[in-house]
Amino acid sequence: MELKDNKEFKIIIKDLIENTTVQQMKNYKQHYNTTCFDHCYSASYYCYCICKKFNLDYKSAARAAMLHDFFLYDWRMKKKPNGLHAFTHGKTACANACKLFDLTEKEKDIIIKHMWPVTPALPKSIEGFVLTFVDKYCAMHEFFNSCLIKRFIIRYAYLFILLYYV
């Protein structure tokens, strides 16, 4: 996923991405071959672009999106730290972010509720809904661009061709 060079966007999240603890997100996979850091960076950029286009709070959206998966553990491990990852990581990410940064109430809400509708609580802001949908878009993009799914598609395409022509 190629992101445009946007100076304003980079200034908005500069303190976040330069933080050494946030940099640790590069050590954890999020979706297939994509790190948590790269996933959050992509989501942050798309939230920034969408919210700016529609005159929404693009700064809060971009900052919250950069921190929405700030959980710093391998969510695929068998023993989960706080229960089922899908239901708890928004709160974990927000708690981790609050230890390092002064977040607005809107940013906290966006981070905590980004897993709607998996979690029942609705985001309080339009920006929260933007991240909710951008997060799913980025996850699907990462899934379909993974080597795993490409190998799966290629393998079954070959199988289909063999069966069709035999």
Q: pLDDT truncated to tens, each residue of the chain (166 aa)?
A: 445 568 999 999 999 999 999 999 898 887 677 899 999 999 999 999 999 999 999 999 999 999 999 886 665 665 555 666 655 678 889 999 999 999 999 999 999 998 887 778 899 999 999 999 999 988 888 877 766 656 666 666 666 666 665 4
Separation CA 30–CA 47 (nearest Å)? 18
CATH numbers and ranges of domains, the chain: 7-165 (1.10.3210.10)
Query: For residue 24, what are the contacts with CB-CB under 8 A and spacing of at least 6?
Result: 72
